[in-house]
Chains A and B, each alone.
Chain A
Amino acid sequence: MLRRKLRSALRISELPVIVDLSHCETLNRDDIELLLDCAAQSAGRDTPIVVVAGSPVTQVLLEVVRISSLIPVFSSVEEALGYTKTGGMSRVERNQNAVEYLK
């Protein structure tokens, strides 16, 4: 269910997708596969994905599986929102430029 929702969000949303793991104490194999899948799906697209890793254990796990080097990881939703606002703006500008170019 979550996998489908996330994939759908990445496919149709023009806004950045924040995956909030702040209530997760740790990650299992399926969680990591899903995040890697999302990272692969968002690569080369205009919909960025960022992760909020609440617990230090989750942060360590994300580093070990190299997700931290693929997706921006933050320790709070506020930090993630701050990043996506600035990152999102530049993407919107790029999209507008592209639209104008097509015209």
Chain B
Amino acid sequence: MDLAAVVIVPPAESSVAIPEIRSHEPEHASNFHSLASLLTPILGNDVLHAWIERIRKLGVPSLWLSSSGQENLACSTLQAFASQGIQRFLTIKLKSYAEMDLGDLLQFHRESRNTVTEVHDSQGQLGVRVFDHPSAASGNCEYCAPVDAEHAAYPFRGYSKRVLSARERQDLVGDVLIGGCAMRPLGKEVAEQVWVGEGAKIADSVRLIGPSYIGAHTEIRSGATIGPFASIERDCVVDYGTTVERSTLLPGTYLASGLLIRNALVDGRYLEDLNSGVIADLQPAGLTARATTRRRASSSPADARAWGLKASSSAAEWRQVQL
């Protein structure tokens, strides 16, 4: 039976301007926009690419990337696939990092003989589903049907982490830094639990406290303190005397001198406080900016545009990727 693999990529809102400064109560954090995104690198790693590599191991010739704000695939899209003879679908909503053997999942699906298999971990659905679509032509879409007794739950007991908020993203960073999962920081370990990417410049007086990560072509200037649990992604500049602790700087972020960045995610001009969920625009105060010392790397696959998708799109967009 032919298999179609589809990865549903949420719009990368963090790369576009946030229209206003927001603040909100932490208990409602999940209802609000967050700077967290799996389209930005985690310690130099590309989570989307990691999922694609897992799909490649299944031996399918290509996969489809869909960039859409909508959670579900349209029935009409499935019918178009079905008309090409595809009767089995693997869909992955890019909202988690999970070290999953997709071959084992497909085998489970075949053996269970259910039309839909949904992957669950201890917290519930992970956004990974296999389903057969024998009746697409009749409009009876199994994918859109509600989860019921005919849906088999595939229990996943390996490492998984949802990344729907900046806090969850930082939790994943922490797990990687302490070796709590299979992902490794992309760089050379220059001291115990301190990784540095290619071409990074670190002044002699910088205090590096592990576990920490400094991405490729990032510059850390004199007197700065990095760590513990700091992740400075590629092409950033941390100016004189600034401290970054239990925080992440997304690629291409400049931090002015003398700042204290603690429990935060910073993306260019915006800072999200991990505890309160408050997003503050630091640019009017001259504290952050896009780093200009080096052109932002466009070749990294950790970017929706690099995969041929628009960075932000309200309408569904499809792209076939040859494996």
Q: Interface residues, chain A, CB within 8 Å of chain B? A: 25-29, 31-32, 55-57, 59-61, 63-66, 69
Contacts of A65 in B (CB 8 A): 258-260, 285, 287
**Main SS of the interface on chain B?**
loop
Residue from A31, A55, A59, A63 whose CB has the most chain B CB atoms within 10 Å: A63
Whether A28 and B278, one on each chain, are in contact in the complex, defined by CB atoms closer than 8 angstroms, is: no
B28 to chain A, nearest CB (A): 13
Whether B21 and A57, one on each chain, are in contact in the complex, defined by CB atoms closer than 8 angstroms, is: yes
For B287, the closest partner residue in chain A by CB is: A64
Which 3 A-B pairs rank lowest in CB-CB distance, beginning with the nearest?
A56-B23, A56-B278, A60-B280
C-alpha spacing A31/B287, complex, angstroms? 13
Residue from B259, B284, B286 whose CB has the most chain A CB atoms within 10 Å: B284
B63 to chain A, nearest CB (A): 40
B4 to chain A, nearest CB (A): 45
B267 to chain A, nearest CB (A): 14
Q: Interface residues, chain B, CB within 8 Å of chain A? A: 21, 23, 258-262, 264, 271, 273, 276, 278-282, 284-287
Whether A29 and B286, one on each chain, are in contact in the complex, defined by CB atoms closer than 8 angstroms, is: yes
Residue from A26, A55, A64 whose CB has the most chain B CB atoms within 10 Å: A64
C-alpha spacing A65/B271, complex, angstroms? 13
For B286, the closest partner residue in chain A by CB is: A29
A61-B280 CB under 8 A given contacts A26-B21, A29-B285, A55-B23 = yes
Whether A64 and B284, one on each chain, are in contact in the complex, defined by CB atoms closer than 8 angstroms, is: no
